[in-house]
Amino acid sequence: YPLYTTSQTFYHNEINNYEGTLNTSRVWNMRMYDNGTVVLRVVRIKRIPDKPPNIGLCMFEEFSLRIIYPNGTVVENDILLDIPEFNYCSRADRTDPLKPRNLELIEYYLIGKKYILVTYFNATNSSDYDTYEDWGVIIDYNGNVLDRIRFGVSFTVNHKLVINTHIVLNVNREKGFIRLNFIKGSLNAEWRQFYVNSDGKLTDLTNGTLNFIDYTTLTVNVISTVDEGYAIVYANMTGKFQTIDTNDTIENSTEEMLSPKIQLFATLIRHNGTLIEPFILYQSSLPNLIIESLHCSIAYVDVGQICVLTLKNQGNKRFVVKNAFVSCGTVFSSSTFHYLLPDIDFNEYWDLVSLPFDGYLITNKIAVKGSKGILMHGFLLNQDKKSIEPWGLEEPRLCNVNGDFLVLPNNTMIIANLEDDNGNSWSFTIHELPKMLDRKNDYLNANIESSSPPINGIVIPGQNIEINFYVRVELSDGQIEIHQIESGQTSLRQIIHSSSEDILLKNEGKTLVIKVYDSTFSVSYKNYFIKMDNNFVKSYVYRESLMGIKENIWTVISSERTVNDERFYPTTTCQLRLTDEGTKAYEEYLSAGNRTIFFDSLLKELVDAVPINIRLLDSNKYAERDFDVENHSFLYLISVVIKQVDSEQDVGTVIKYLRTLIRNKKYTPIGSGKFTKYLDDTFGIEVTTNLWKKYKYGLFSVILIGLVIGPSFFFFSKKKGADPEKNKKVYSKDDKDFNKWLKNNIALASILATLSCADIEVFSVLTLEGLPEKYKAPFSPDAETRMVFVAFLNIFAEDIPQFIIQILYMLRTVNYGVIPLLTLFTSALSLTRNI
């Protein structure tokens, strides 16, 4: 794991060869994801002769990113941004002389897994800062522009550009970011929350303004809070180096001495919410104090948020004020201690970075004339011991021209090294900082001790999972998500909300036991990760949200699946029911002639939800009303099929998983599907007795027997039958015997003549053996032939169509009962007899 070692140097040779061109690639700035993936920008310096004095370094017009994954793989992306060319030159007329860096016009933020926010400037006159405007563009890693936004007029003071915009990502990147900027020509600052949807479009959430008394003495920090909101923290100096006026009155002198000289405020903003009134974190009436630095962050080890204010008095003695506050606005801890740092001749600006294993990294960057790099001093601030400790690197250390560094979530520091002008590579030093906390931090959360199953452990389908904390916790308002990883893609398997009854707290509130559905880890030997929201649990003592577990940290592997004991037919038919919303959606697809699209899409989402091979799931693609419910929702059947060649999932297991998924659709992939969300979770899935599938072979056997035995019986009767001469009577209007029979049986003849319209074979009743002689009609051979011919035609005109219609009804109906099956059976017998 190249990025997670004690100390080494990481080298990378660029694919494009710029060696010997004096335009070699240089690391410019770094960003990182929560899992330790590093994204850095690489630039090539552009030599411009006779450039204006306010222009700093200029780069070639290309936005080059290098993605460094935790396994050491590097992906190069060179993007051509559609932005004004002047953005590629920094500005040397910086407003803060203590900071060695020039003003950078291009910044970028990793606002999601796939998307990057790049901020830049537009101007009608690049030499006139008063015409500058703040802009932003959303791109993906292929350089595709997804959205573009104008933030507003740029902030200038005395016609000089002042870049004091703060863009801070939410602790949960999926919830967007906040932007704070000062409004030109006023003492107000505007804040706006943004959200980036799944297709990369920016959505404005809430916004508001803050009023400041004096901008010139203001120090501002914007942070994301652990409850997925934001905090704006600002310190203001109301008193500077001063002496007491001897001519002033005692009352005025006392009032002046006791009035606050430095005040530290904080205001909270809920995600997609409004601003909460500011509250005081710290104030001091001591005179002659200077704010040297302000650093606020989420408390990685304790709870809430921590702000560290570094002050310096007139005697150049530094002391630190540390204040901790929770997301409701209560300050629950405040402490002060002094520390000594070496005096730096060129720069008195010290920067603090919170460390994942407690404490702070204090750095100081110095630009030295004649050197192409930056000298960096570094120390560690131990909060418990209230002492300054070495950082484990040479002091000072030579870095690249920008002095870029990052501290990864595992307490590893990476520092960009000075590049070789004649080379075509870049590198950075990887150094593991000393840990001030004696705890495991495998979950990148210092409050979690262990879990079951452990990281990279084996999980059994249906087995509960456990999380063990170092501190006592209680459930809050978040959720746990379980995702399957397949070919680099993730799919949601289950959601467990903190309000669920499937969660148990034990071990005096230090252990969570969470029930997992049997369908969650349904595929054998697959990779999964378990993610926990930052607000899933909170501290029992402070009632403050605790950090969660990021994705791809708690990874597990599913064990071999057990075969379901419940037996089903190799092909089993089940019923699913649509909700009211689903019924309306189905009717819309049906009226538009897209019934097949509806069912195909539904089946595809069901296949992905289990997951199973798509060959195992089928449907007749028809629906019918369910008259057992008041709203007459649609019912439809699907066929769940298990093939002999595929032993991964048996029919019983698939039905069991579908029942679990649908019954709990709010917490499974069923609820998030475009079509599966229409399934009725109160109905679930019901196995139906498919009489056709059960008796179809018997029905075909009867028809086959009829086809074989019928003709045999005919020939047998020809051979063994009575003398044909007995029936050779003449049927005509002149036949006195028939006229006599007709006169004596006019009523019977009328009834049979009427019935013959439906079936000509009713006349055969008059020739039955055993019928009284008075009712037997003397038909001639010609009449009998005609009746047989008409009966033969009736087979094609009535019997066969009727049989086909009943088969189609069987195939297209949803709930096929006993009566339709018996009707089909008797039709088959009738057809066999007629044949």
pLDDT tens figures, 15-64: 877 655 556 788 998 999 988 899 999 998 888 888 887 888 888 999 99
Q: Which two tokens stand for residue 179?
A: 């932007």
Q: What value does the mean pLDDT take over residues 621-648?
A: 63
pLDDT in tens, 466-502: 999 999 999 999 999 999 998 888 999 999 999 999 9
Question: Would you state the pLDDT for residue 716?
Answer: 45
The confidence score (pLDDT) of residue 601 equals: 92
- Structural domains of the chain, ranges and CATH numbers in brackets: 234-342 (no CATH), 448-558 (2.60.40.1220), 571-687 (3.30.70), 691-834 (no CATH)
Amino acid, res. 47:
R
Q: For 690-704, how does the pLDDT look when each residue is reduced to its tens digit (9 = 90+)?
A: 555 555 666 566 556
> Cα(688)–Cα(813) distance, rounded to whole angstroms?
13
- Residue 646, pLDDT > 90, answer no
**Sheet strand arrangement including 448-452:** 448-452, 465-469, 511-514, 503-506
pLDDT tens for each residue of 242-291: 444 445 454 544 555 556 678 899 999 999 998 888 999 998 888 778 88
Percent of the chain having pLDDT more than 70? 71
Single-letter code of the amino acid located at 620: N
What's 666's DSSP letter? G
CA dihedral 790, 796, 802, 807 (to 10 degrees): 160
Q: Is residue 85 over pLDDT 70? A: yes
Does residue 241 contact residue 314 with C-beta atoms inside 8 Å?
yes
For residue 79, pLDDT over 70 is answered with yes
Distance of CA 635 to the CA centre of its chain: 31
Q: What is the CA radius of gyration of the chain?
A: 42
Q: Please name which of 260, 343, 264 lies closest in space to residue 308, comparing C-alpha atoms.
A: 264
Coil, strand or helix at 154? coil
As a whole number of angstroms, the distance between CA 514 and CA 516 comes to 6
Q: Report residue 728's pLDDT band, with 50, 70 and 90 as the boundaries.
A: very low
Q: What does the block give as tokens for 306?
A: 């921590």
Confidence of residue 358 (pLDDT cuts 50, 70, 90): confident
Q: Give residue-wise pLDDT tens across range 747-788.
A: 666 665 555 555 555 555 555 555 565 555 565 566 666 666
Tokens of 270: 């809920």
Residues 6+ apart with CB under 8 A from 715: none
Mean pLDDT across the stretch 606-626? 83
Buried b (16+ CB within 10 A) or exposed e, 645-656: eeeebbbbbbbb
CA distance 334 to 282: 8
Name the amino acid, one letter, at 432: E
Contact call for residues 555 and 455 (beta carbons, < 8 A): yes
What percentage of the chain exceeds 90 in pLDDT? 36
Q: Are 318 and 311 in contact (CB under 8 A)?
A: yes
* Residue range 192-196: mean pLDDT, rounded: 95
For residues 587 and 632, the answer to whether their CB atoms sit within 8 Å is no
Average pLDDT for residues 593-622, to the nearest whole number?
Answer: 87
Instruction: Please check the confidence at residue 644 and state whether its pLDDT lies above 50.
Output: no
Contacts of 128 (CB under 8 A, 6+ apart): 159
Closest by CA to 533, choosing from 258, 239, 820, 172, is: 172
Identify the residue with better confidence: 572 or 221. Answer: 221
In this prediction the pTM is 0.77
Main-chain dihedrals φ then ψ at residue 504, nearest 5 degrees:
-125, 135
Averaged pLDDT of the chain: 80
How far is 300 from 24, CA to CA, in rounded Å?
39
Look at 412 and 488; give whichever has higher pLDDT.
412
The answer to whether the CB of 299 falls within 8 A of the CB of 306 is yes
CA distance 610 to 617: 11
Looking at residue 782, its pLDDT comes to 63
Rounded CA-CA distance 6/414 in Å is 11
Cis peptide before 611 (omega within 30 of 0): yes
Tell me which residue of 451, 450, 439 sits closest to 357, measured CA to CA. Answer: 439
Check residue 719 and give its pLDDT: 44
Q: What is the pLDDT of residues 421-460, one digit of tens each?
A: 766 889 999 999 988 887 877 898 889 999 999 999 999 9
Instruction: Report the first-to-last Cα separation within the chain, whole angstroms.
Output: 80
Structure tokens at 514: 């969470």
